[in-house]
């Protein structure tokens, strides 16, 4: 049963602009679901690393995967991780430089990563990832081999220690700036999905609905 709210820990509580903070599961889940490209932060020899990767959510956990041989994947089992998902919705142009900002929805998840070791569980998690984005595709693919499954690592982390920040609307202008004669407003930004391009080297195949209707960041549960 998914929780409906997450109590922030001292470090996951939003300090700056706390009025933008959200801790309810519905908001966190919606942002993570809409943002499949995330940035995973980890520490090696005291130095930070930030790797972009694809991630997917199942209930109260966030999952990501990669080559079992990669630096990130090898370093992360049991290690401290910060996973951040960010959607930039607009640039906000105010009448002072200081009040310029962005509208965004972001989630920061802190915790320790767990490697999935059971091959069956790992295969099921990878299937879930494909099916969330492209329902029906997994069964149509050439089946995964034992070797491919071995070469792939899946990591996950609970959403226990997570917070969202949501910034919307027009700029809040400094007092006295209301009549300064410069254009102010927002420039909206959207991640747009283009028309799919079939591999010209592939045997022609009809474009399935799961490709034709795909919209980046819209998944099916």
Residues 72-111 interacting with its own copies (rule: CB under 8 A)? 80-84, 86, 88, 90-91, 93, 95-98, 100, 102, 104, 106, 108, 110
Interaction of residue 211 with its own copies, rule CB under 8 A: yes
Interaction of residue 26 with its own copies, rule CB under 8 A: no
How far is residue 156 CA from its own chain's centroid?
13
For its own copies, which stretch binds (CB under 8 A), given 1-9, 21-29, 35-43, 55-63?
35-43
Q: 110 - beta bridge partners? A: 82, 161
Q: Which residues in the 106-135 window bind its own copies by CB under 8 A?
A: 106, 108, 110, 126-127, 130, 133-134
For the bound state, the minimum distance from the C-beta of residue 1 to its own copies, rounded and expressed in Å, comes to 29
By the 8 A CB rule, do 131 and 181 touch? no
Degrees (nearest 5) of the Cα angle 169, 170, 173? 135
For the bound state, the minimum distance from the C-beta of residue 26 to its own copies, rounded and expressed in Å, comes to 21
Shortest CA distance to 152 belongs to which of 72, 69, 51, 75? Answer: 69
Of the pair 24, 148, the CB lying nearest its own copies is at 148
Q: Characterize 35-50 residue by residue with b for buried, 16 or more Cβ atoms within 10 angstroms of its Cβ, and e for exposed.
A: bbebebebeeeeeeee
Interaction of residue 146 with its own copies, rule CB under 8 A: no
By the 8 A CB rule, do 99 and 115 touch? no
For the bound state, the minimum distance from the C-beta of residue 212 to its own copies, rounded and expressed in Å, comes to 9
């Amino acid at each position: 049963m998914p929780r409906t709210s997450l109590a922030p820990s001292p470090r996951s509580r939003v300090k700056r602009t706390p009025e933008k903070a959200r801790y309810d599961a519905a908001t966190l889940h919606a942002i993570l679901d809409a943002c499949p490209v995330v940035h995973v932060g980890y520490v090696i020899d005291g130095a930070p690393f930030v790797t972009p990767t694809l991630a997917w959510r199942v209930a109260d956990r966030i999952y990501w995967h990669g080559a079992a041989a990669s630096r990130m994947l090898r370093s992360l089992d049991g290690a401290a991780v910060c996973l951040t998902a960010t959607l930039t919705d607009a640039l906000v142009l105010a009448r002072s430089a200081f009040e310029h900002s962005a509208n965004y929805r972001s989630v920061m998840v802190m915790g320790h990563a767990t490697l999935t070791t059971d091959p069956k569980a790992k295969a099921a998690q990878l299937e879930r990832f494909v099916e969330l984005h492209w329902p029906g595709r997994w069964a149509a693919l050439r089946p995964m081999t034992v070797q491919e499954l071995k070469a792939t690592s899946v990591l996950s982390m609970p959403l226990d220690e997570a917070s969202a920040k949501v910034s919307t609307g027009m700029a809040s202008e400094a007092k006295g700036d209301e009549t300064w004669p410069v254009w102010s407003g927002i420039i909206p930004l959207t991640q747009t999905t283009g028309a799919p391009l079939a591999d010209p080297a592939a045997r022609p195949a009809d474009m399935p609905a799961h490709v034709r209707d795909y919209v980046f960041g819209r998944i099916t549960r």
